[in-house]
Structure 1
């Protein structure tokens, strides 16, 4: 079995601090193998660009 070319494990991204913080990406895990096509879909403001 080959290793993924991209692997994310429990990725979080939080903007701001304390009560003013906004969670943009919450606990994302994924693996992308060579030759795979990946599409990230979601509503506006759901963290797609931040994840990329």
Structure 2
């Protein structure tokens, strides 16, 4: 079944938005891991300096 030009454009737009969402989700996951590591280091340094 043939798609109209409008449907083709819509599908391309949806595909691009999905790609961008995957990238953003991946980046957010990476940054959350870094933030968790930083929080762990900060907590350890605080514990060591307050003892």
TM-score range, shorter chain: under 0.3
More helix by share: 2
How does the TM-score come out when normalised to structure 2?
Answer: 0.20
Structure showing greater radius of gyration is: 2
How does the TM-score come out when normalised to structure 1?
Answer: 0.20
Structure number with higher relative contact order (C-alpha < 8 Å, ≥ 6 residues apart)? 1
